[in-house]
Structure 1
Amino acid sequence: MKDEITELRELCADIRKFIQEERLSEAKEKIALGMAQHPDAGIPHNLMGIVKEIENDRVGAMKHFRAAYALDPKNTSIRKNIDSLCAFRPTGKKLLFGDEDDERQKGSYIVEYDEQGIGHIVRKRG
């Protein structure tokens, strides 16, 4: 029996292929299956966020990116996707599938408070 990480990597590879071939309905079916089989994993939500962004559903994309981040806050690909989607100007950066061997940087974000005392997560400067 395969371990969860191997299953998620294979899932991601299949979905990446569907997305590249513009077979989005098949990608969504596979993602839904991944969500059902791995309810504690962030990657299926990250993948659905990518599909939603391709479909120009930015609200739907953000919902799934936020769910992915809540489930896997150490996955920097998910955080970069959120940053890319939230940019006031399009960054032109590709969205990340979440299974890349990305460097997980601890402490790259801090909380800054505005004059109303509301905390905002921002990238560390310097």
Structure 2
Amino acid sequence: MQNSRTNPDEQELSSLCRRVREFAAHGDLESGKRIAVKAMGEYPHAAQPHNLLGVLLEKQGDHLSAMKHFRAAWALDPTYRPARQNLDVFGTFCPARRYAYDESDCPAERTNARLFVFGETGVGRVIKKETHR
């Protein structure tokens, strides 16, 4: 999918992340949900509003709906690391409760990341990046 957001959109979405984080820190989850849902309408192809709504729903204990929004965010933009991190963290039996509101909440990329390598027949396999030369 091609990312067609403009610079003002990026700034607005960054501001949205900060505002939702502030609402959550003060316990005002409903206000955070309200602006995240509004942003979904304004930026229908952006991953951030879905990820933020997922965080707020998880904080409220609605795990199933939160996971749906994390998956929606990841589907809209597979390169958006906070959605991937939230899926990883909250998709386990004992989640660590580390919320990723934006990129600053994500750990640095690991050097031993995995790669998909496809052979001549089209069959793929996963290998460690450091072993692939």
State the TM-score, normalizing by the size of structure 1: 0.77
Shift, 1:61, TM fit: 0.4
Change (3 A) 1:99 1:36: farther
How large is the RMSD of aligned CA atoms in angstroms?
Answer: 2.8
2:99/2:105 contact within 8 Å kept: no
Structure 1: unaligned runs, 5 residues or longer:
112-121
2:54/2:67 contact within 8 Å kept: yes
Provide the residue aligned with 1:85 in structure 2.
Answer: 90
- The one-letter code sitting in structure 2 at the alignment partner of 1:34 is A
- Indicate the SS of the match to 2:61: coil
Structure 2: unaligned runs, 5 residues or longer:
1-6, 117-125
The whole-number CA distance in structure 1 between the counterparts of 2:88 and 2:51 is 13
Runs of 4+ in 1 over 2 A off after TM superposition: 98-105, 107-111, 122-126
Provide the residue aligned with 1:28 in structure 2.
Answer: 33
Which of 72, 93, 98 is 1:94 aligned to? 98
- The one-letter code sitting in structure 2 at the alignment partner of 1:56 is G
The whole-number CA distance in structure 2 between the counterparts of 1:68 and 1:123 is 26
- Indicate the SS of the match to 2:104: coil
Aligned positions, number = 114
Report which of the two structures shows the higher radius of gyration computed on alpha carbons: 2
